[in-house]
Structure 1
Amino acid sequence: MRLLQRPRLRSTAALFTTLSAFAANSLVSGPSVADPFSTAPCALTRTAAHHSEGVDTWNSAYPRPSRSLDAVMVFLSFPDRAPMATPAELAADHFPATSRFFQEASYGRFTLRPHPLQRWIRMPKPSTAYAIQRDWSPEGRAAYLHDALAAADPHVDFSRYDLVYFVADPDAPGVDSDATKVVNLESPLHADGTDIRRVVTVFEKHPPDRLVLAHETGHVFDLPDLYHRPVDGKGDWDTYVGDWDLMGSQFGLAPELFAWHKWKLGWLEPRQVLCVRGPGPTRLTLEPLAAGPDVPVSRASGAPAFGLGGGAKLAVVRTGTDSVLAFEARGPVGADRAACRAGILVYRVSSGARSGRGPVEVVDAHPRSEACWENSVYPPLADAPVALGEHFTVPDNGVRVDVEDRTASGEWTVKITPGTKL
């Protein structure tokens, strides 16, 4: 596909680029501006929707992963089956993999510290007494949590921890691995002088699904489910985002959290988010979103971070009162190392859509094809990114993205032109 010729820089734009190259390398033509120091016009307002994608404020009911947090793992056995695995073996199913995922995804800004008990805690009833299943009855769930907390309280000082994982013996006959989830409590549990407002109930088989605990922990940080659940439970679950975010599928080829989520969680600096405004085209540089621990980046605070640099990770175009288009560079690096295709991923974000109802939808730049059908959770979206040398116009709003260049270090030069329909 044809690329547009790069326009000549005006001297003022060149000066701005020199001063701000670490953020955007922005080459501006016409009145359009990509200003890394003014993200407010593109920051969606948080709404009352469950796990709203608004980023203007933080929901204080959830712990924000902008510091180190401590998580206790309590291992629960039942009278109807002697455990076949040890607590240490079950802890190793999830850690250090879960901590490593968040360490890398946050560019070193967040550390999840697990504290697994070294013993089994015996539940008072058989596992079959709790009717454990994916769509658990409130009564069964409440009974399980009440008994688990009462059994564990003599052995755990819950006031010391920010997160609680109740891990059931995976071999007990009444345990259903599909029931692993976060339980949000309207009336908190109380122990050791502290309120426990949410608990991750883990019923995973041994060994478990890949990154399942990272997915559930994402809910503890107010991230929504991004998959589509068919009404009858049959059919495709991954039609909204495919492989492209852990909150869509922990089985995805590219499970890195969207840049929008990193902005929401406080892992991106304001200068790393570019709000594209105005009728004219804006040319900017985006760094790859994912990064591995082998590529350290220094930070002013002295804390470790990961990535190719401190440049822009996310570009945003406002499309409505509660909606935006987001643009980020994805490819086979870090958590995305198995990504099917590389390029600029485009997705819609709605702050008014609740968890599980499509708050994020990936826009397919290649709607007539699919890729990696043997490994992808949803092949029609596996080749969704706009590849090098391609251009793509987003249906319904006319926003156009041209992917013009990619440097040897992996940075992508992108031109975004807001549509006339905005």
Structure 2
Amino acid sequence: MSVPKLRSTAAVLTTMSALAATSILGGPSAAEPFSTEPCALHRTEVHHSEGVDTWNPAYTRPTGTLDAVLVFLSFPDATPRTTPAALTADHFPETSRFYEQSSYGRFTLRPHPLDRWLRMPRPSTAYAIRRDWNAEDRAAYLRDAFAVADRAVDFSRYRIVYFVADPDAPGVDSDATKVVNLQTPLRVDGTDIRRVVTVFEHHPPDRLVLAHETGHLFDLPDLYHRPGDGKGDWDTYVGDWDLMGSQFGLAPDLFAWHKWKAGWLDPRQVVCVRGTTPTRLTLEPLEAGPGGWARDGGGAPAFGLGHGVKLAVVRTGPESALAFEARGRGGDDRTSCRQGILVYRVRGDIASGDGPVQVVDAHPRTEACWESSVYPPLADAPVFLGESFTVPEDGVKVEAEGVTASGAWTVKITPAVK
């Protein structure tokens, strides 16, 4: 589910992608290549668990090429003022480009839009569409949508289904865009459909909204904080730093933890920091990818090596860990406010929407980019070049010692003494 529309005013800037080459440097202790143990969190039964030891087979893993169908639904109480082609262009190729960049070319989302409207049998107002949708009204909408679409679509050809409603119909609420998880898979054209993205966006839509919703199809959690009364700030957990927190973020690339969970990082690209003596390593910027895959905003290749270490992890408890990654300005992060070593806490036993990931602010007394950030107090959260920072409560110290000519960061991490 997307965050409130008040975030759509966030401004964007552009810059070129950083290039990086990495290696593990010698230090007082060796950094161990990532393995299932001891730094991986176990996947638990909570919704969209951040555990990474196993993949949840109920979800499609975003690797290789996945085909998606876009079905456009009109209603008897409105005549569409836009075309399916225009609505497709609202979301593609932007959504596909986001995932191509974030996955370093390991995942391709291939859209297949219908070229015409399909008429629903009831007026748009009959479905009572809204953000917190009544289950019976939502089920009625999906039953009618599949009934009209089944005559035009062979669902066995697609792993992803987007139902796109006429944005100008009177009963359509743009806040209702979300992924609907079906308790019992729907059998259509010989295939089981477990979840559907229902799209009710304005034309033009909010930035990257479909990329956010698509992330839920791959078992990624909501990282925003929804106030109990619906008022107040929604972005206190991760600010601008991950698409699943806000699609309006200045640095919306997915956390390295999510890239590893999705299968986009090789085991050697994640380092488990153990013991109590300092570990020195080189972190490649998150956006850097294999030559020709990571691209700047204009589509030009960014020829970073893309095979170096992306993520350092310190286990802090049975269900918790600290993650460290280098964030620059390039790829999906090309409008980033600040660059440096981003630190965040991860919990495998906290459900989607309840704060399974929380960014640690290395500069808690300051804020940045107040005119464009979704949450300025966290816009300057990374540890800057030449700084050292000790994570409150956990006692783990990180030092950003230098940046190589290629843009990689040399970092020293000292675990707490127990």
TM, length-normalised to structure 1: 0.91
Q: Distance in 2 between matches of 1:361 and 1:294?
A: 32
Residue 26 of structure 2 is matched in structure 1 by 27
Q: Say which of 66, 71, 80 aligns to 1:69.
A: 66
- Other structure's SS at 1:27 match: coil
Residues 293 and 270 of structure 1: CA distance in aligned 2, closer, same or farther (over 3 Å): closer
* 1:10-409 alignment, distance < 5 Å: 24-29=23-28, 32-36=29-33, 38=35, 40-291=37-288, 295-296=292-293, 307-409=304-406
Q: Distance in 2 between matches of 1:324 and 1:173?
A: 47
Which AA in structure 2 matches 1:275? C
Q: Distance in 2 between matches of 1:170 and 1:37?
A: 46
- Other structure's SS at 1:216 match: helix
Q: Does 1:411 align with 2:408?
A: yes
Q: Distance in 2 between matches of 1:131 and 1:321?
A: 44
Which AA in structure 2 matches 1:26? L
Q: Distance in 1 between matches of 2:379 and 2:357?
A: 16
Which AA in structure 2 matches 1:28? G
Q: Distance in 2 between matches of 1:140 and 1:399?
A: 50
Residue 300 of structure 1 is matched in structure 2 by none
Q: What are the superposed Cα offsets for residues 213-264 of structure 1, whole Å, 9 maximum, x if unpaired?
A: 0000000000000000000100000000000000000000000000000000
Q: Distance in 2 between matches of 1:139 and 1:201?
A: 15
Q: Distance in 2 between matches of 1:408 and 1:144?
A: 55
Q: Distance in 1 between matches of 2:140 and 2:289?
A: 42
- Other structure's SS at 1:91 match: helix
Aligned residue-pair number: 393
Q: Distance in 1 between matches of 2:396 and 2:23?
A: 20
Q: What are the superposed Cα offsets for residues 351-374 of structure 1, whole Å, 9 maximum, x if unpaired?
A: 000000000000000000000000
Identical columns (%) = 76
Distance apart, 1:24 and its partner CA? 3.7
Distance apart, 1:340 and its partner CA? 0.7
Q: Distance in 2 between matches of 1:420 and 1:25?
A: 23
Residue 15 of structure 2 is matched in structure 1 by none
Instruction: Give the conservation status (yes or no) of the 8 Å contact 2:71–2:113.
Output: yes
Structure 1 stretches of at least 4 aligned residues deviating more than 2 Å after TM superposition? 21-24, 37-40, 291-297, 304-309
- Other structure's SS at 2:139 match: helix
Which AA in structure 2 matches 1:186? Q
Instruction: Give the conservation status (yes or no) of the 8 Å contact 1:326–1:348.
Output: yes
Q: Max radius of gyration: which structure?
A: 1
Instruction: Give the conservation status (yes or no) of the 8 Å contact 1:274–1:315.
Output: yes
Higher relative contact order (CA 8 A, sep 6+): 2
Structure 2's unaligned 5+ residue stretches are 1-19, 295-300
Distance apart, 1:389 and its partner CA? 0.2
Which range is displaced more, 404-413 or 288-297?
288-297
